[in-house]
Chains A and B, each alone.
Chain A
Amino acid sequence: MIKYIKKSRYPIFRYFMLGIWTLIAGFPIFWIVATSFKPAHQWTSWPVVYVSQEPTLENYREVWGIGEKTVKEATQIYDKAKDARPESVSMNKAWKAFGNSLLIALISTSLTVAFGTIIAYGVSRFQILSEVRMFQLLMLRMIPPIVVAAPLTLYYTTLNLMDSVTGLVLIYFITTLPYAVWMTKSFIDEVPREIEQAAELLGATRWRTIVEVVFPLVRSGVVATFMFILILTWSEYLMSFILSKVDVVTLPVQLSKYEGSTEGRMYGTQSALAVGITFPLMLIGIFIRKHLVRGFTFGMVKR
């Protein structure tokens, strides 16, 4: 390796190319963060202000109530906002949307991963679904969800599930289940069968084998799946855009509500909210970066 570096200019070329792509990949993200600290007159100024000389927390104060107020006061605001109506201030709405997003994402992700793991175990050990069926499951997921959006809305209206946490949880549960099954299956496939057979010989029931023998072995995989599904659910836009109106607005939908009626979008406030949506996700994603490829390719590519 060292010999290679000494005799060629390739490393310099590599760092140059990677540097360019770092700029391309990082600039929009840098821009969100930079704009969120800009005072209103610099949002769309020309010549362009890259980093504000007079940074302000005004945007964060307006969206999240952070800045002057302590966390405790913000929590109190959130408590009040639980039964807030649309006419209340934007700060309440952001926290309310955050609460909704978190609640929906956590419940539906837990459901998905729990059922996904069980089904994946069945597929891996008992072939409850043949490979063809598994691919058909995948196929269903790959049809654009918009094609069922209209009848789904009417169906939800009939069931009184519109604009409710249950409704969104159900739909996210269904749409992310194939990902979870495929991903956890790839982890379970790696556990040697002999261990289970040994447990069975020692007299453990099947459920006990799953819970006490298999699950601990694939725990890190299940955690990775959980986080991966959490990413998918947290950033989902279409379904929550269509199926929620007032009460159960999630964060991605809330983002589109910061539009001034006359002066176009409120870039600063929007950025402050965008930072709040994106950064938790990025942290989770970086944490499970080794397993991301498995999730996105339905467990077909491992690293």
Chain B
Amino acid sequence: MAQSVPSQTNDLEKMSSRSSGIRIFKWTLLSPLICLALFLLPVFILQLYFAFHSWTIYLSSWSAAEYVGIELFQEALQDKRFFWAVARSLLFASLSTIGCFVFGLILALLMYRPFRGHGFFYIVFILPMLTVPIVIAYTCDMLLYRAGPINGFLSTIFGTEMRFTWLSNPDFAIFTVVMLEIWNWTPFTFIILIAGLSSIPKEPLEAARILGANRLKIFMEIQLPLLRPVIFLALILRFLEAMAEFPKTWGLLQGGPGSATETIPIYLYLITWQFFDISKAAATSYVVMLIMIFVILFAIRILRKEKQSMDTLYSVRSSGS
């Protein structure tokens, strides 16, 4: 554009009309997003209002709420229960992410090369991911009932009557929920890792084998570094989704026994719909949002960096084949 010669006014006019056409077109494409943002905006304004005004559902109208400044935020931050909910959520998310990753990696390593029955196993292994979360919660309740099939199965194996309390033991309940999450989402890491593993070019692997490297060495020094972007992606997405997990934990134990499985979403649900403390919920929500935004900003930094190396991997592969 800058190098256009003034005498070609006709062309310039054409070009400017073309670029304004493109601008209009761009805004047409963007308009639905803007409409949705405008639709959602009042929700955040309401949230802000409630976070600074003390209001419960027992008060008649919203305007009856009195302005209390940052008192609610202080209350939220000093709440021991909230602190423990955050700690529990972090524990739940990290344990389940690690679990999903380990099992997913083992399965992907077993399956990334074609063999008889590959298709069958692939379908069976993705089934847990395709089960509705709330169905999983209720099924788990059926399975882990004190006289349920899992205890029955263990009794048959060990020959004695096993009546393990999976759900009502407050020290263990959180791990039951973690197991549930791992069962549900191992397919997720599995399909990501298997896609990553099978997109690694074969030549360096062959070369390493010819040079006499054993399988462990090939895995540690070739496959794992090349897989890194995919691994990061899987871990980050899984962690963030696990932080937001609601239906399984709620459907199975509703935060109980006591508050042993009360994660952040369940805590927020309880203060809103059981104690009807909308204002405290709003303030706490902002704290949670802030925490999550920091986590996510950090995650996005990693993801963007890794996405570049991932795209390179794919472009190398597609130009090579």
Contacts and interface: CB of A to CB of B under 8 A. Distances in A.
Say if A and B assemble together: yes
Interface of A: 11, 14-15, 17-18, 21-22, 24-29, 31-32, 35, 44-48, 50, 115, 118-119, 121-122, 126, 128-129, 131, 135, 138-139, 142-152, 154-155, 170, 173-174, 177, 206, 231, 234-235, 237-238, 241-242, 251-253, 255-256, 265, 267, 270-271, 274, 277-278, 281-282, 284-286, 289, 292-293, 296-297, 300-303
Contact of A303 (B40, B195, B269): B195
A292 to B, nearest CB: 6
Given A265-B138, A286-B126, A24 B183 contact: yes
Contacts of B125: 21-22, 25
Interface centre among B134, B268, B286 (most CB of A within 10 A): B134
A234 B272 CA distance: 25
Interface string B103-144: 100110011000101000111111111111111101111110
Contact of B246 (A126, A129, A237): A237
A245 to B, nearest CB: 12
Given A18-B121, A144-B265, A145-B244, 19 more contacts: A21-B103, A24-B183, A31-B139, A48-B147, A119-B30, A129-B30, A143-B244, A147-B288, A149-B272, A150-B272, A174-B40, A235-B133, A235-B134, A256-B134, A274-B139, A277-B132, A300-B307, A300-B310, A302-B199
A301 B292 contact: no
Contacts of B240: 142
Interface stretch (B75-83, B216-224, B293-301): B293-301
Contacts of A174: 36, 39-40
A242 B111 CA distance: 41
B233 interface: yes
Contacts, number: 250
Contact of A274 (B126, B135, B234): B135
A15 B117 CA distance: 9
Contacts of B289: 143, 147
A148 B285 contact: yes
Interface centre among B153, B198, B296, B303 (most CB of A within 10 A): B296
Nearest to A116: B32
B147 A46 contact: yes
Contacts of B230: 301
A155 B131 contact: no
Contact of B131 (A128, A256, A278): A278
Contacts of A255: 134-135, 138
Contacts of B247: 237-238, 241, 252
Interface centre among B103, B192, B230 (most CB of A within 10 A): B192
A194 to B, nearest CB: 17
B134 A237 contact: yes
Interface stretch (B7-15, B44-52, B166-174, B200-208): B44-52
Contacts of B199: 302-303
B132 A150 contact: no
Contact of A150 (B153, B281, B293, B310): B281
Nearest to B32: A115
Interface residues of B, number: 97
Contact of A119 (B32, B251, B292): B32
A147 B285 contact: yes
Contacts of A129: 30
A197 to B, nearest CB: 14
Interface centre among A148, A277, A302 (most CB of B within 10 A): A148
B32 A289 contact: no
27 contacts: A25-B124, A26-B127, A28-B136, A29-B131, A32-B139, A35-B142, A44-B147, A46-B147, A48-B149, A118-B29, A144-B243, A145-B244, A147-B268, A150-B47, A150-B281, A151-B46, A154-B46, A170-B39, A173-B36, A174-B36, A235-B133, A238-B247, A278-B130, A281-B130, A282-B131, A293-B192, A301-B310
B25 A206 contact: yes
Interface of A is mostly: helix
Given A270-B138, A296-B191, A152 B43 contact: yes
A177 B36 contact: yes
Contacts of A25: 124-125, 127-128, 183, 186-187
Nearest to A281: B130
A7 to B, nearest CB: 14
Given A14-B110, A126-B29, A146-B268, A301 B293 contact: no
B152 A47 contact: yes
Given A285-B126, A286-B126, A28 B30 contact: no
Given A128-B26, A151-B50, A300-B307, A252 B134 contact: yes
B244 A146 contact: yes
A272 to B, nearest CB: 12
Contacts of B133: 235, 237, 252
Contacts of B72: none
A139 B138 contact: no
A150 B292 CA distance: 18
Contacts of B129: 285, 292
A122 B29 contact: yes
B214 to A, nearest CB: 13
Interface centre among A22, A24, A28 (most CB of B within 10 A): A28
A131 to B, nearest CB: 7
